[in-house]
Structure 1
Amino acid sequence: MLPNVILSMCFLALRLRHGAADLCNWSGSGFAAAVDSRIVLQVRLRCTEGSVRWVYPGQALRVVLEPNLFSARRSTVCIKPSPSFGGASVFIERAGELELLVTDGGQAERQVFCFRADGPHRPAIYLQTSLQSDGPWSRRTMGFRYELLGNRSDALSNLASCRPCNDSELLMAVCNSDFVVRGNIKKVTHDFGRQTSLVEVSAARVYWQRGGVFEECADSSPLSPPSWHGHIRTLLQCHVKPGDGEFLFTGSEHFGEAWLGCAPRYKDFLSMYCRARAARQNSCDFPLD
């Protein structure tokens, strides 16, 4: 079936009674595809991040993202296919047409795919399966996790350029980042398949974090300050190398991974922040102890 035919054909729509859903996540089956191959499951989710899990996948699944906080007309949607994604393709809906985002098969589960969600319409994602070989009753599970980045997409643009943050960007980073951590670089390893580098960090202080990327070390002495351990991912093209000294790591969390944003040496950040606070140019109060 041609992908654009899905939008123009007169199909049967199945609502959420064929699956379990909360505001962020959906899980359901494609058993109905055995009755009528024209059926397209319709799912609506209202969070800025969550997951879709499709058991016994049918012909097609349409997921509309309409979160309560979706106020910006320009946003970025990212999806990460599940490990059992083989046998499906993902399309995005633009002005009544479907555009291919992820092709069938390959190493899709190792990657994150992003697209711009401009215009007045809510982002819509189509998941279409290949049923020729195993039929609609195949015991498979496929799906994806999704995130709406909103204004955080600007941070991804800065990351892609691999340039150091200026003072204004750094002041904003310590206020708005998903994590702010002070620590040292223990090791840097490179993943040429994903074109990323993984920075292993030993942290003396976790000021805050949105998720649980940084964990307290189990062998920390109760008589000494706690120590933390975690990993931060960045692009391979940024050529991150191990360095001596203490850094202030900031960044964003995507699909359970920390991504590096601004990372000045801590002593340089302190000097800059004290000057900004004296001039009342700091965007928020940062603990200096």
Structure 2
Amino acid sequence: MGLVSSPQQQTCRTNMSVANRSAGRNIHIYDAKDPDVVLGGLILTNGVTNANFYSMVEIFCIFDSSYFLRDEDGITIQRDDYPLHPGKYFILTNATAKNKYPGSITISNEPWLARTVSAASGTRAASFRDAVRQRDRRCVITGKEALRAEHGIWRGFEVAHIFPLAYEQHWTDSDYSRWITIPATRGGAINSVQNGMLLRDDIHTLFDGYDISVNPDDNYKVVCFGPDGEGIAGKHLDQRFLEDPCRPVDQLLRWHFRQAVFANMRGAGEPIFEYDFPPGSDVMGEITSGPKAAEWMEFELFSRLSAR
């Protein structure tokens, strides 16, 4: 059975020890005109509706005509709020306005930015960290309170950049600063409180790895792209957070959600990077022998330089 890979994936499948995002998928997506090739898939978790599924497909598939989805029993799936069920789904395109033949499906080549855990340090990051801590005082995804925050103890909690600091040049080139209305105390717009969230440390790891995201276009629903051991999939960010005028802007949450869909649903999925290097490990060797070595090295390098 064939499997479509994004252009970024086609040269990074040599390290057999690399974790595979597509492992465990129970949703598989096909072009009805070529049902032997898998276009992508999903590990289904709580809260994903039929309408959500349509919107995710539209992130990594480009259509030149209208389309609809059918399951393996031939039943057309409606864009509704009924829960999505595991199984095979086939995309059928309607005839285009120019001719009577079905339209085409193209897999998006929108870039996916490789990312590992971002634990930035330095004066720019410290200012950003303090602003986010004082605003949130809890993990905004799980709701767990930082009970010792008033004593300056934040153990178990970390501040996450929604858009990673390591890609500041990409941020600048794309003019993402236009979304920021609250300037940062230090370090430019990318370090605005509107680009950060306080998360439990384990949730931060999953967020940076695109295993968890928030969909601002579905009432800020938490979406898990892997098994949900915390019971948070399908929940929504609470109103205290959403009513705060300093909360993250929707455009950045939407950017992260799109990246999570690309990472987990497009083709075979993007590689998962190792980040746990015990003392004595050959870090450089592990990176250079792993997937997307150049991108991984670039991220690690700029994560350290950009924090100064």
Query: Structure 1 length as normaliser, TM-score?
Result: 0.30
Structure with the higher helix share, 1 or 2: 2
The one of the two structures with greater contact order (alpha-carbon pairs below 8 A, sep at least 6) is 2
Query: Structure 2 length as normaliser, TM-score?
Result: 0.28
Structure with the higher strand share, 1 or 2: 1
